[in-house]
Amino acid sequence: MTTPYRLLFTDLRSDELIDVLPVTGVSLDDYIGKTGRLTGTVPIPNAAIAERARRAILPGRTGVWVERGRAIWWGGIVWTRSIASDARGFLGAQIQAGGWESYLYRRLIYDTQTATQMDQYDIVRQLIDYSADMPGGDIGITYDSSLSGVLRDRTYLRYDLPSVGDLVDDLAAIEGGFEWRIASFRDSDGRRVKRLQLGSPIIRTGAADIVLDHPGPVLTYTWPTDATAKANAWQSRGASINRNQAAESFPLTSPVLVGAQDIADGWPRLDGYSDYSTVSRQTTIDAHAQADHRAALAPVTIPEITVLLGGDITPALIGATVRVRIRDLWHPTPLDARFRVVGMAITPPERERPETARLYLEVP
C-alpha cells in the first residue's frame, strides 16, 4: 500500500502548524541550482473546509511542508492561491509554492555589505544573517559552520538594490565557486528543518551507488544533445566604469576568451557573453568570464530518467551518485555510467497513476 502524502500549512515566520488540508493533483520538484516548485488544488467541498482554507492559505505568509509518512520530502512558501469553480460547480483552491530559496530573491540589500578576504561560504551566511536580522525577516533558515577554503573580496552597494538570492547565485557562479540549496527534512528530535546546504565545487551526498537498469526500474528516459548553449569565444561585462555622467558610459569587460583547441578540432566559432551589472572589479569579472567560458565550451547535458518511487529513491538522493545501465536499439553496446542526481520531480499516486520520480542527471 502506498504511503500517503500530507501537506502541512504553517506560519512562515514561526513555523507554527496552522492546518493539514487534503490536496489533489500535487506535483513537486527540487533541484540543485534552481528553485523547486509545488502545485496542487485544495478541494472545497463545504463551508467548513472553505473557512479552514481561507485561514491557512495566505500567499506570501504561509509555509508548506510535504510529508510522506513521517519524513519531510519538500518545503517552501505558498506564493499564489487561485479559487476556481468548474462547470459542475466544484470549488478548489489552486496553489503554487516555491522552495525556501524563493524567499531570498524577495529580499533586497538596503545597506552596503563588504567582505575582505572572507571565505565565500561566510559571505553567503553573512547575507542570510543580514536578511534575517531585519524585522520580520527571519524565516528560520539554519546553516553549519563549514568552510570552502576560497577567500573573496566583495562589496555590495545599497544603491544597486540587489537581491540576496541573486548575489548568492553570482558568487556561486564564479571560478572556484560552489553549489547551494536549502534542504527540507525532519531532524532526530522530530523538528522540521530548513537547512542551507553548500558544496564546493559541487554538492555531493550519499555513499553507495544505486543501480538503475533499463529495461528494469527505469521506466522511461530522455537523453538530449543540445548545442544551442555552446560557445567557444566568450566575454563578460560588468558595471559601468565611467564616473563622469557627462561622458558616454562603458561597461567593465573581461578579455575575449577563445577556445583555440575547440576551433582546431573543427568546431565553428560560436560567440557568447554574460552580464554582471553589479560587478565593478576587473579580477571579479575576469573570474566570472573564465567560469562561464569553461561551462559554455561543453554545455551540461541533463538526461532525465523516470523510475518508480520508493525504497532508495527519495529526495535525499539529490546530490548523490547513481549508476545507470541502458541497453536498447540506440545502445547495442550497453551504456553503463555513473551520474550525479541534480534534481527530482515527484508525481504522487492518484487513481490508476503510479507514484513516480523523474531524476535529472549530470553527465560526468
Question: For every one of its 364 residues, what pLDDT tens digit does the chain have, with 9 covering 90 and above?
Answer: 445 788 999 999 999 999 999 888 889 999 999 999 999 999 999 999 999 999 999 999 999 999 988 899 999 999 999 999 988 889 999 999 999 999 999 999 999 999 999 999 999 999 999 999 999 999 999 999 999 999 999 999 999 899 999 999 999 999 999 999 999 999 999 999 999 999 999 999 886 789 999 999 999 999 998 899 899 999 999 988 766 666 677 899 999 999 999 999 999 999 999 999 888 899 999 999 999 999 999 877 789 999 998 788 999 899 999 999 999 999 999 999 999 999 999 988 877 778 899 999 998 6
In the prediction, which pLDDT does 351 show?
A: 74
> How many domains does the chain contain in total?
4
In the prediction, which pLDDT does 247 show?
A: 63
Mark which of 80, 99, 118 sits at the end of a domain. 99
Is residue 181 within 8 A of residue 197, CB to CB? The reply is yes
Same domain, 23 and 86: yes
Class of residue 127 by CB neighbours under 10 A (exposed 0-12, middle 13-18, buried 19+): buried
State in Å, rounded, how far the first CA of the chain is from the last one.
37
Report phi then psi at 171, rounded to 5.
-65, -40
Q: Is residue 204 part of a domain?
A: no
Query: How far from 134 is each of 107, 128, 138, 286, CA to CA, in Å?
Result: 10, 10, 7, 34
Cell 541534480 belongs to: 342
Is residue 27 within 8 A of residue 39, CB to CB? The reply is yes
Q: Please compute, for residue 97, the number of CA atoms within 13 A of its CA located in the half-sphere on the CB side.
A: 31
Q: Which residues pair with 343 in a beta bridge?
A: 31, 360
Set of cell numbers at residue 73 = 520530502
In the prediction, which pLDDT does 254 show?
A: 96
Same domain, 289 and 355: no
Same domain, 108 and 181: yes
Same domain, 219 and 157: no
Set of cell numbers at residue 54 = 481561507
Same domain, 214 and 193: no
In the prediction, which pLDDT does 102 show?
A: 98
Q: Is residue 358 part of a domain?
A: yes
Q: Is residue 22 part of a domain?
A: yes
Q: Is residue 357 part of a domain?
A: yes
Same domain, 214 and 352: yes
Any idea what the CATH number is for the domain that residue 89 is in? Answer: 2.30.300.10
Same domain, 220 and 347: yes
182, containing H or E segment: strand 179-186
In the prediction, which pLDDT does 1 show?
A: 41
Same domain, 179 and 131: yes
Same domain, 143 and 250: no
Q: Is residue 205 part of a domain?
A: no
Same domain, 108 and 81: no
Q: Which domain holds residue 58?
A: 5-99
Is residue 26 within 8 A of residue 95, CB to CB? The reply is no
Q: Is residue 146 part of a domain?
A: yes
Same domain, 257 and 305: no
Name residues whose C-beta falls within 8 Å of residue 47's C-beta, 6 or more positions apart in sequence: none
In the prediction, which pLDDT does 363 show?
A: 82
Q: Is residue 138 part of a domain?
A: yes
Measured CA to CA, the distance from residue 83 to residue 80 in angstroms comes to: 10
Same domain, 44 and 179: no
Q: Is residue 73 part of a domain?
A: yes
